[in-house]
Structure 1
């Protein structure tokens, strides 16, 4: 069966595209298109994984963001204030004058943890965000 390919156009900062091209070369991709397809598949798989998170969870959300952009830090703080019932702790430090690294530690219902993670991830100025969760039933078990 023949797959119909769709052509799209995107705009990227030069530095991001250069870094992507270097990564593609190192990983042996035959084209940018194949690398972008793979990145989109990975993004979709991650989203599907997040949608399956249910029940009581312990979690961390790590965030790298541009703290020099007006409003990013205050918006991040406002989001966290909406979820004080989930957040046990957070720590932030400056990586450099323009970038902050923050880790938020949470415990509660998986659906609410996903909600806050998606709000943080979608913030303009967030460079990287990673959610890690474990179900509470696994916390006390050793393998």
Structure 2
């Protein structure tokens, strides 16, 4: 591990100390490491369309909607190389929640997620992305 010196203005230092207290970090260095990792993840995901990533796609849909379950299944079968695992939860009589773990190139993962979320009768959808640094 390397040691560096960083100069921060007073207001930013106060904000950092507040984050340390609120999140329960043992020290500023731990907080700065985590915040740096988060910033690096966001930068890589914005600029690295050909980078490997892990995606967590969660969406709620009306399972009674005509052919929707079939269309969703087909979407995942057509992109089977991206799909790692999924979980299906019955929320109530009409709605189901699915959580899918995806792994592949950023553009491909985003494209599949956007297709699923855009399906009619998919009510809520969210994709969370994490760079897959083990394959870079």
Q: Which has the higher Rg, Structure 1 or Structure 2?
A: 2
Provide the residue aligned with 1:60 in structure 2: 56
Unaligned runs of 5+ in 1: 1-49
Segments of 4+ moved more than 4 angstroms: 50-53
What's the Cα RMSD here? 1.6
Distance change (3 Å), C-alpha of 1:67 and 1:90: same
Q: 1:51: Cα distance to partner?
A: 6.8
Among candidates 64, 70, 82, match of residue 86 of structure 1: 82
Alignment partner of 1:125 out of 116, 121, 125? 121
State the TM-score, normalized to the length of structure 2: 0.61
TM-score, length-scaled by structure 1:
0.59
Number of matched pairs: 89
Deviation at 1:53?
Answer: 5.6
Q: Deviations over 1:6-62 (max 9, x none)?
A: xxxxxxxxxxxxxxxxxxxxxxxxxxxxxxxxxxxxxxxxxxxx8756210011100
Measure how far apart 1:69 and its partner are. 0.8
Distance 1:120 1:52, change over 3 A: farther
Note if contact 1:53-1:114 (Cα within 8 Å) is conserved in structure 2.
no
Q: Structure 2: which 5+ residue stretches go unaligned?
A: 1-44
